[in-house]
Structure 1
Amino acid sequence: MRMEPSDRALVDRALAGDAGAFGLLVARHYDRIFRVAWRVLGSQADAEDLAQDVCAALPGKLDGFRAEARFTTWLHRVVVNAARDRLRRHATHARAVQGWGDVETLRRDEARQAADQQEWLVRAMTALPLDLRETVALVLGEEMTHAEAAAALGVSEGTVSWRMSEVRKRLRRLAEEERA
C-alpha cells in the first residue's frame, strides 16, 4: 500500500520544479478552492473563474507558504484574499450576491420544506456584510474551527467568535421579522 505524499512534501517538490507534484496538489485541493470561492462570491461562474485564477497564480504564491499553519489554512487565506480582490474590482456588491440563488438549483431533489428553508437562508446571507459571509463560509461551509478560520481570515479567534454570534443574532431577528 502506497502512502500519499503530504501537502508539505508536494509543495516542496513543486517549488523544486516538479510539475507532477504541483498537479497533484491542485487536483487534491481544487474542489476546496472552488467551494470557498463560491461561498464568498455567491456565483458559480465567478467561483469557477476565481478557482482557475488561483490555480494559475499558485506556482508564484507557493514560495509564500511557510508551513506555520496547515497548507489548507494557507490556501483558504489565498482564496479568500483573491475573492476579496475580485469583489473590490466590482463597483457594487450586486454582482457578488447574484449567484446565491444557484444554491436551490443544486438542491432541487430535496423535500420542498428543505428547499424553502435553504432559499430563506440564501436571502438572509446576501443581506450580511462581506466579513460575516466570509466567516460563515469558512466556519460552517468548510467546518473550520474558529482558530482555523481566524488564521485564514487574518483576524483574531475572538473576532471570528463575535462574527458568528452576530450572524446568529441577525438571522434570528430576520426570522422573527418575517413571522410577524
Structure 2
Amino acid sequence: MGHDADDRALLAAHVAGDPDAFGVLFSRHRDRLWAVALRTTGNPEDAADGLQDGMVAAYRRAGSFRGDSAVTTWLHRVVVNACLDRIRAAKVRAADPLPDDLDDSARRGAVVRSDAAPAIVPRAPDDPADLALVADRRARVLDALSRLGADQRAALVLVDMEGYAVAEAAAILDCAVGTVKSRCARGRARLAELLADLVATADPPIAPPAGNRRAPGDVPSPGDPRGPPTVAP
C-alpha cells in the first residue's frame, strides 16, 4: 500500500493483512497524536505510554472501525482514552506539571480561549523583573490547569489548545457535544477561580486567532527529547 493511499484505504489494507499499512497510517498522524497525548497526560513519560497503549489497541482493533467517523478521529479517540485510562489508574496528583512546551502554545494564545478565563500570559518582556513575573504567572497557570479533572482537562486540551471544533472533540471523546461544552465551561470556570488574581492584574491578553488549530508538524520534533516516540505495535 503506497504512502498516497487515503486513511480508510490504509486501515482496510491493514485489516486485510498488509504488513506496512498501519505503519504508514501512524506515521501520517504521529505528530498530532503525540501532541494530544502529551497535553492530556501532562508529561512525556505518560504520554509515550499512553500513545503506545493507544496504537497497540488501534492496531489490534482496527477491524472494529465502523467507518462512521474519520480514521484520524477514531485514532485520536483511542489514544485519548488510553491516556485517560492511565491518568485514572495512576490517580495522578493534581500538582503534576504539564509539558514544558506549553509556553509555546501560550505565546500563540492557545492556553485558554474563554471570556470567563482569558489568556493571561503577557508578551515576553525584556526586563529581568518582568521575566521573573512571567515565569511566576506561567507556573501558576500550569498548576491551575493540572488541578482540573481528567475529563475536563482532555476537553480543554482538544478544544482550547489543539483547536478542535466542539463537535470534533465530542467525536474523539465519544460523548455528546453538550458534554464537551459542559466540561470546557466547568474547566474554564475553575481556572477563572484559581487564576482570578492574575486575570485582574495581567497585561492585555493575547487574543487567539479564529479557529486556531495546531499545524500537523507544530509539535516537538522527533529529535527533541520530548518528541514523539516510535511506536511498534
Tell me the residue number matched to 2:63.
63
Considering Cα pairs closer than 8 Å and 6+ residues apart, tell me whether 1 or 2 has the greater RCO. 2
Alignment of 1:75-86 (within 5 A): 75-86=75-86
Q: Summarize deviations over 1:45-93 as a string: whole Å, max 9, x none.
A: 1111222232233221211211101112111110121112212321x32
TM-score (norm 2): 0.66
Shift of 1:31: 1.6
What is the rounded CA distance, in whole Å, between the counterparts of 1:42 and 1:175 in structure 2?
19
Matches within 5 A, 1:27-106: 27-90=27-90, 92-94=91-93, 98-100=96-98, 102-103=100-101
| 1:64–1:99 CA distance, 2 compared to 1 (3 A) | farther
Report the more deviating stretch, 7-16 or 165-174.
165-174
CA RMSD of aligned residues (A): 2.8
Q: In the alignment, does 2:169 pair up with 1:149?
A: yes
Question: By percentage of residues, which structure has more helix?
Answer: 1
Task: Please tell me whether the aligned partners of residues 14 and 22 of structure 1 are also in contact (alpha carbons under 8 angstroms).
Answer: yes
CA apart distance, 1:177: 4.1
Rounded to whole Å, the distance in 2 between the matches of 1:104 and 1:40 is 12
Q: CA deviation at 1:152?
A: 1.4
Q: Secondary structure at the match of 1:93?
A: coil
- Letter aligned with residue 40 of structure 2: V
Hey, what's the Cα distance between the residues in 1 that align with 2:65 and 2:95? 31
Q: CA deviation at 1:105?
A: 8.0
* Consecutive unaligned residues in structure 1, runs of 5 or more: none
Q: How big is the shift at 1:175?
A: 2.3
**Partners in 2 of 1:3 and 1:52 — Cα distance?**
22
Aligned residue pairs, count: 176
Q: 2:167 & 2:104 partners in 1: Cα distance?
A: 30
Contact 1:30 1:51 in 2 (8 A): no
Q: Bigger CA drift: 66-75 or 116-125?
A: 116-125
Task: Say which SS state the counterpart of residue 167 (structure 2) adopts.
Answer: helix
Asked if the contact 1:42/1:97 (under 8 Å) is kept, the reply is no
